[in-house]
A and B are shown apart, each in its own frame.
Chain A
Amino acid sequence: MPGSSTRTIRVALVGNPNTGKSTLFTALAGVRQRVGNYPGVTVEKKTGHMRHAGHSFELIDLPGTYSLAPRSPDEMVTVDVLLGRRGNVAPPDVVLSIVDASNLERNLYLVSQVLALGLPMVIALNMVDLARERQMEIDVAGLAERLGVPVVAVQANRRTGLKELQTALAAAASGGETSAAPVRENPFPASFQQHATELGAWLNERLPAPLPPFLVERLLLDGGGYLESELLDGLAQEGAERLRVARESLAAAGMPVPAVEAMARYDWIARTLQGVARRPSGHTRTTSDRIDAVLTHKVWGTLIFGLTMATLFTSIFVLAAPLMNVIDSAVGGLASLVEAGMAEGALQSLLVNGVIGGVGAVVVFLPQILILFMFIAVLEDCGYMARAAFLMDRLMAGVGLSGKSFIPLLSSFACAVPGIMATRVIENRRDRFATILIAPLMSCSARLPVYVILIGAFVPARYFLGGIVGLQGLVLLGMYAVGVVVAIGVAWGLKKSILRGETPPFVLELPTYKMPSLRTVGFRMAERGWSFLARAGTVIFAVTIVVWALSYYPRSEDRVAAELEARRAALAGHAAALAEFDSSENLAYLRASLHQRYSLLGRAGQWIEPAVRPLGWDWRIGCAVIASFPAREVVMGVLGVIYNLGSDVDVGAESDQHRLQAQLRAARWDDTGEPVYNLPVALSIMVFFALCAQCAATLAVIRRETNSWRWPTFTFAYMTILAYVGALVTYQVASRLLL
């Protein structure tokens, strides 16, 4: 076979956002993709493989971008990969540029920058159907000739043109006729090129390795860019001075930085497209425009947005619940099967409470993740996601964020895990991190049972305004409000301190509406689900095992037996009470409760009692709170164990709920005999839960999304401090006002 070789052809995929880049990547590489991180940055590294006519290709998916002007280490990754400056990896053999045919001019801006790198290139002209609908005429062969690179018309979502694309890639990589491109035209004016050459010569005398001409141009163009801060450190005053002088003389010659680049490249684009591509002059009204007129309308747009968000939100809440119950009962069923089939002991407990519980703790998040990403994939693929950011931007700008933070934060009310995973739509690093850091403050569905039980037990059921407004409902709303208000404050504080910087550009493309593709949606769901299982799941699983060990060891059978004996002795003479005490059920509960008390975790609870006393808590609450740090939903189960209800308290079941509420009301302080729980204590516990980061899954996902342990550590620390202070203030104020 001609051109057949065993060498793998490395292809880098670049393109603007909204061009169908991920769809093309999946269409070419299939579902078997490898996802990792580039070290030191938050950019995801996605690679895949494909075979065609005896050739083997490795596809590297680079982040969607409008330009190769790096402002941050994250943006530098794309440039470094293309130039072969990332590690010891050579530049790719071919660049595959994906271009939206219906938005050719703007898309060619990035193409013009990539052409300057001098690598063989193939252009995939996507969405030709959309271009036709917009009455655009494109002469594909003519365009290829002008650009000096092969252009292949494709429709990534329908998988057409892929074979031709693969053939063109193989030919371009093997140095066939197509890659014998004419010397690529430098779009910059001659005097600009002169300045760049001089600067390059001066730099290369001083730098350990010569700087590629593209980067010299970037250094000259990108005032305040990443290269400037990176390179000038080593070149001190003189380098900065040369750069300033060069830019000034460019400005004086009518080529001000940064405008000169856009002007030069868009001029080049206009020349390139002259006679080979035409769009109708003036404003043509398409179906997409008519849809947009409704969806961004003051009244209808707002109404439809509200309905869409309500549907999204209730779906994560309501649709996920039955699936989560199925997972819970499957895990529970498996656990009792193992429990019944094994002898009692450490191994049984490890399998049941550690391993099976750990797997359950991971898998239980999947329904919410899959449902949220189904919605997000549909909204993104049809073009509505950008409109959501457009509609909500004014509101979010008040907190220093942008409209792009809205959906991740809304989703976090159901669960912060998918919410944080959804922050990838936010390109600006500081905005993205601020959103990630406040997402866990949104009251998630796991906090709801805590609120419901404590409110039901301790907030009087009073009604106002003829029964429409209830006090219990108001307190519940108040708990959600506490999270939101604190989140606003934290976001504001973060943007003024560790995430401070210039207001990032909003500048948002509003893409043409189109029908979402089922394939793309299904694939996005699977990808996100798998990514969660593989990357965050391992951490959650590990944490569950550690917590199991802490609540299991040390095993002091003697102390438990002694305590049981002492309690029985106290009941001597009361036959009925003794009979109840000796029922196997009661003994099992008591034993579990005592083991918990003597475990490391239980001792920690007693040890921290002085610290939680000002919050109005006894050691049992302290212990339950510590036990619920890995996953807050366990708190009711732990309280159930402590108050001898058995560990399988089902807070969903009415009877269990009432039993637990009765137990909480009956709990007394060991020393004074006063009730432990009253309204201020209940409020203090709820505020603590509203503000605390009691969720290993959330912290694991933050670690995964920020590619560093620094941010989950920070989140954990700040939220724990906030929760403690919040609960302290709540108790101290409420106990003075209410008691």
Chain B
Amino acid sequence: MKRAAAELKVGQAAIVERIVGSDEISRRILEMGVTPGVEILCLGAAPLGDPLEFELRGYRLSLRKSEAQHIEVQLIEGSEDAPLG
């Protein structure tokens, strides 16, 4: 199922399909390694609900919800059931 990375729940993993837009934010997201085909895992959000924390390519990246909205992903079904630890 297609969705934006901003809509992932804690513990859900997804495959990046596409980065929407060509502004500075999209460029930065791409440079940080969020490219089509890469797996990203939603680790959680800051106490006030924004920004979000993701894991990809073996490191951690924090994006605002509005930024994660630029990332179109395909959920890996059943990934939320897998234990985080």
Contacts and interface: CB of A to CB of B under 8 A. Distances in A.
A504 interface: yes
Interface string A271-289: 0000000010001010000
B44 A296 contact: yes
Nearest to A108: B33
Contacts of B25: 503, 505, 507
Contact of B58 (A134, A302, A386): A134
A203 B64 CA distance: 39
A62 B16 CA distance: 32
Nearest to B58: A279
Interface in B42-63: 44, 46-51, 53, 55, 57-63
Contacts of B46: 296, 390-391, 393-394
Interface stretch (A65-73, A228-236, A697-705): A65-73
A67 B31 contact: yes
Nearest to B18: A259
Interface residues of B, number: 39
Interface stretch (A98-106, A626-634, A635-643, A671-679): A98-106
A262 B31 contact: yes
Nearest to B36: A263
Interface string B49-85: 1110101011111111011000000000000000011
Given A395-B48, A504-B24, A508-B51, A69 B31 contact: yes
Contacts of B58: 102-105, 134, 136, 279
B30 A257 contact: no
Interface in A385-404: 386, 390-391, 393-395, 397, 403
B30 A66 contact: no
A503 B67 CA distance: 10
B50 A393 contact: yes
B59 A103 contact: yes
Contacts of B22: 223, 256-259
A581 interface: no
Contacts of A386: 62
A106 B32 contact: yes
A91 interface: no
Identify which of A134, A257, A505 gathers the most chain B CB atoms within 10 Å of its CB. A505
A299 B47 CA distance: 8
Contacts of B23: 224, 502
A142 interface: no
Contacts of A503: 25, 66
A375 interface: no
Given A106-B33, A261-B30, A262-B35, A506 B67 contact: yes
A283 B60 contact: no
Nearest to B30: A262
Interface residues of A, number: 52
A69 B31 CA distance: 9
Interface in A478-522: 502-512
Interface string A644-685: 000000000000000000000000000000000000000000
Contacts of A504: 24
Nearest to A222: B27
A109 to B, nearest CB: 6
B50 A394 contact: yes
Contacts of A71: 24
Contacts of B47: 296-299, 301-302, 391
A78 to B, nearest CB: 14
Contacts of A711: none
A394 B30 contact: no
Contacts of A258: 22, 26-27, 30
B84 A285 contact: yes
A257 B21 CA distance: 10
A109 B31 contact: yes
A263 B35 contact: yes
B8 interface: no
Contacts of B35: 259, 262-263, 266
B37 to A, nearest CB: 9
Given A262-B35, A393-B50, A502-B23, A507 B60 contact: no
A296 B43 CA distance: 10
Contacts of A261: 30
Given A106-B33, A509-B59, 17 more contacts: A103-B58, A105-B58, A257-B22, A258-B27, A259-B35, A262-B33, A283-B41, A285-B85, A296-B47, A390-B53, A502-B24, A504-B24, A505-B24, A507-B63, A509-B61, A510-B60, A511-B59
Interface of A: 66-67, 69, 71, 102-106, 109, 134, 136, 222-224, 256-259, 261-263, 266, 279, 283, 285, 292, 296-299, 301-302, 386, 390-391, 393-395, 397, 403, 502-512
Interface of B: 18-19, 22-33, 35-36, 38, 41, 44, 46-51, 53, 55, 57-64, 66-67, 84-85
